[in-house]
Amino acid sequence: KKPNVERNVTINKSEFKAAVVKHLHCTLGTDENKANNHAWWKATCSAMQEQVLEGIRKTQKTHYLNDTRAVHYFSAEFLMGRLLSNNLQNFGLFEVANDALNELGVSLSDVLEEEPDMALGNGGLGRLAACFIDSLATMELPAIGYGIHYEHGLFRQEIQGGAQIERPDSWRDYGNPWEICRPESIQEVSLYGYVETKYGENGRIQKEWHPGHIVKGIPWDIPVVGYGGKTVNVLRLWQSKSSGYFNWDVFNAGGYVDAQVENVQAETISKVLYPNDETEAGKELRLIQQYFFCACSLKDIIRRYKRAHGDDWSRFIDQVVIQLNDTHPAIAIPELMRILVDRAELDWDRAWGICTKVFAYTNHTLLPEALEKWPARMLEKILPRHLEIIYEINHRFMKEVDKKWPGDNAVKARLSIIEEGNEKMVRMGHLSVIGSFAVNGVAELHSRLVKQNLFPEFDALWPGKLTNVTNGITPRRWLKACNPALSKLIDKKVGADWPLDLKKLEGLEKYAGNKTFQKQFMQVKQQNKQLLAAEIKESLGFDVDTNAIFDVQIKRLHEYKRQHLALLHIMALYRRLLENPDYDMHPRVFIFGAKAAPGYKLAKDIIYAINKVADKINNDARVNQKLKVAFLPNYRVSLAEKMIPAADVSEQISTAGKEASGTGNMKLALNGAVTIGTLDGANIEIAEEVGDDNIFIFGLTVDEVNELKASGYKPYDYYYKNPEIKAVLDWLETDYFTPGKPGALASIKQSLLDHGDQYLVLADYEAYSKAQEEVDKAYRDKERWAKMAIINTAKMGKFTSDRSIRDYVERIWKLNACPVRKG
């Protein structure tokens, strides 16, 4: 069956060939004989870009002519990965390009490998943004992503002697064929300086911000091609540049040198992505980054609005909705107030009425260390007017709180945007809830906890404002493009339009018990495992048995995600095998991918420990037929695309209540991996979809975690009670894994015993170990396993990001699709 997707692009093989060759000659100045794969990659991108640009033009014209309402997705991170394969796929030109390049004597898959990942994000939140803009374009929704054009994305990870080393990521060093510079839309952004209070003719108090410095924001547009190639939206990323402007009013004559320093600083704003995931470091440059891209983006939105509606603000809320991806862009709220009150001279209530109908906020984490707070003093220095506005917002809000809870100062202290203490802090989460019309968590459990624990009184104050939108992933990248073999098999069974309607995968369920289909399905898995085994061989230099269970844990390294729980269990298996060479287990390869924040000591220690334990096990002939450990360096989107299709088991073992949603869990299950996981985040909803028989759930629930902590959790109890735990933890202190360096892995034991085991690793160990025995037993029953794997794929329909976006559109954004047609 041919995909029944109406396409807007028709270009055949010989035209494609001609276009690639033309660009090889005319864009790159080389020819077929001289070109290397990198040149072929660029020429292929340029050939595609002709289609892409035509798509952007048509889309923008259509949106303009229809004066559409649009969503503006504000995010400090967009983890796009590679674009060529995705764009070919979404235009329906993958086969055409493959054949065309073949005839030119070039392998498309080699060419695709030339593309550097666009790694402008840390992890889940950044990749979610990328999946969402894919869905928005696919569903023909008027949308634009706004973010930062980081010169260096997330660091490249090298492993040296087992330890993580960070190297700069230089994704643009040899040029990026996708981005389009838009100098006609450059914006200016103010920083520092002071606020002057003036009295207008009507006695109205007027505030004027005299900035100390102005920087330029240069927009770069990245095309976002919807599936079917009809709508092509853009991701607009801002690069900072010195404006050369220096305010002599603000600095004295001695400020001349400072001025030059600040010019250099202007260009640092968009230099590098902060690699912290879930830890707020309170760094000034990060606040400036956030304000920089929000201010540029708001100006861009307002320019576009004014082109259609002039100075009439009355329709602004009909045309514009802004989604804040976590609190990173929360400063946009006081910035819009500043524009409306100080610049457009609207009165406060009218301005606030507009603001609170424009913004919506998504929370992605409950971890206290990830909740952004800025010192009031820092805000005052960088954005003096914004701090005043925040105080005014808070003052009026406190009056509202007093109406609801008269005289209750405790509730005021909890709800206030300002946290009093040694140093006054501005709580960006509170500001976001107060300044938005909708607030959502990212999975059912997480949203309930946001309501009950993080913002309890806000829910009482504004019932209905706090809600849930469960995350999703784009099936175009995370099945169709990354797993072509499985995709083709699925096409044959349920038709080829599942990428647009993922519920269609349910059609596979009736084949779950069918021996022939089971065989085909597991053959595809086997092929994918061979591809990954080749990658492991290439990257790490050793062989893995593709008949072994491929057990995959891929995500940022964090204590709450508990990679060290998996590690303790691996060490226990090793120990069982040493004690009893006949210990009965199916061969297993534990495969990890994880980056640690450069300043997160224990996370780096865990990476080191995994690698050291891996070295020992992989080289121990007594066990390495049954057990192997592969830590693949530099985990990133393009590596995920190779690991996910090959996974048998998906590790989702966070402490209950800590993982907001997880999205890797969805990608793995969609590709037929069976989850071993806790009742956390979206695991709960995955379990609901696949049923208890097709997932391995273990461990404490959120309530049990709270009870155990309230009753005084004592990790030593588990250490003394369970000889395996004790043996394994003690093992970490010896020099068995780090010859000549006893104690090199001791920090992990310390964190679990002496520092209180915050994330209850030891409390969940036994349940995890038992669940792993169940996994082992299930895998050995080939039919049972094949059935489980198929059902996992069949039941992932709910987790398409198209469904998430539909939820946002219907319940929050109130957008209409705007079809883009030929012409």
Q: Which residues bind ligand 26W (CB under 6 A)?
A: 122-125, 128, 276-280, 326, 364-365, 370, 372, 442, 471, 659-663, 681
Spatial distance between the Cα atoms of 295 and 303, rounded to a whole number of angstroms: 12
Strand 466-468 and strand 438-441: the pairing is: parallel
CB nearer to ligand 26W: give 125 or 340: 125
The nearest distance, CB 278 to ligand 26W, in angstroms, is 5
Strand 425-427 and strand 418-419: the pairing is: antiparallel
Residue with tokens 């983006």: 297
CB nearer to ligand 26W: give 151 or 326: 326
Q: What stretch of H or E contains 246?
A: strand 232-246
Q: Which of 364, 373, 642, 787 is catalytic?
A: 364
DSSP string over 642-694: HHGGG-SEEEE-PPTTT-S--SHHHHHHHTTPEEEE-S-TTHHHHHHHH-GGG
The nearest distance, CB 365 to ligand 26W, in angstroms, is 4
CB nearer to ligand 26W: give 151 or 278: 278
The nearest distance, CB 682 to ligand 26W, in angstroms, is 7
CB nearer to ligand 26W: give 365 or 624: 365
CB nearer to ligand 26W: give 219 or 681: 681
The nearest distance, CB 224 to ligand 26W, in angstroms, is 19
The nearest distance, CB 700 to ligand 26W, in angstroms, is 18
- Do the beta carbons of residue 222 and residue 179 sit within 8 Å? yes
Distance in Å from the first CA to the final CA of the chain: 28
Q: Which of 386, 427, 525, 561 is catalytic?
A: 561
Spatial distance between the Cα atoms of 397 and 1, rounded to a whole number of angstroms: 59
By C-alpha distance, which of 236, 73, 275, 80 is closest to 148? 236
Spatial distance between the Cα atoms of 265 and 271, rounded to a whole number of angstroms: 10
CB nearer to ligand 26W: give 290 or 528: 290
Please indicate whether residue 364 is annotated as part of the active site: yes
By C-alpha distance, which of 650, 651, 706, 654 is closest to 680? 654
Non-local CB neighbours of 818 within 8 Å, separated by 6+ positions: 62, 63, 66, 68, 140, 141, 142, 231
Tokens of 204: 């109205």
Strand 143-148 and strand 70-74: the pairing is: parallel
CB nearer to ligand 26W: give 394 or 654: 654
Spatial distance between the Cα atoms of 374 and 425, rounded to a whole number of angstroms: 5
Spatial distance between the Cα atoms of 459 and 448, rounded to a whole number of angstroms: 11
Spatial distance between the Cα atoms of 657 and 570, rounded to a whole number of angstroms: 25
Residue nearest to ligand 26W (CB): 124
CB nearer to ligand 26W: give 276 or 467: 276
The nearest distance, CB 565 to ligand 26W, in angstroms, is 17
The nearest distance, CB 123 to ligand 26W, in angstroms, is 5
- Do the beta carbons of residue 387 and residue 379 sit within 8 Å? yes
CB nearer to ligand 26W: give 75 or 242: 75
DSSP one-letter code for 549: E
CB nearer to ligand 26W: give 290 or 769: 290
Q: Which of 465, 555, 626, 787 is catalytic?
A: 555
The nearest distance, CB 443 to ligand 26W, in angstroms, is 8
Please indicate whether residue 299 is annotated as part of the active site: no
The CA-based angle 258-259-263, given to 5 degrees, is 115
Helix (H/G/I), strand (E/B), else coil: 629: strand
The nearest distance, CB 491 to ligand 26W, in angstroms, is 29
Please indicate whether residue 663 is annotated as part of the active site: yes
The nearest distance, CB 660 to ligand 26W, in angstroms, is 4
SS3 labels along 176-244:
CCCCEECHHHCEEEEECCEEEEEECCCCCEEEEEECCEEEEEEEEEEEEECCCCCCEEEEEEEEEEEEE
| Sheet with strand 649-652: strands edge to edge | 627-631, 588-593, 549-554, 649-652, 674-677, 696-697
Tokens of 548: 């072994």
Please indicate whether residue 667 is annotated as part of the active site: yes
The nearest distance, CB 391 to ligand 26W, in angstroms, is 23
Spatial distance between the Cα atoms of 444 and 196, rounded to a whole number of angstroms: 47
Residue 800 CB-half CA count within 13 A: 24
- Do the beta carbons of residue 149 and residue 238 sit within 8 Å? yes
CB nearer to ligand 26W: give 563 or 611: 563
Catalytic residues: 364, 555-556, 561, 663, 667
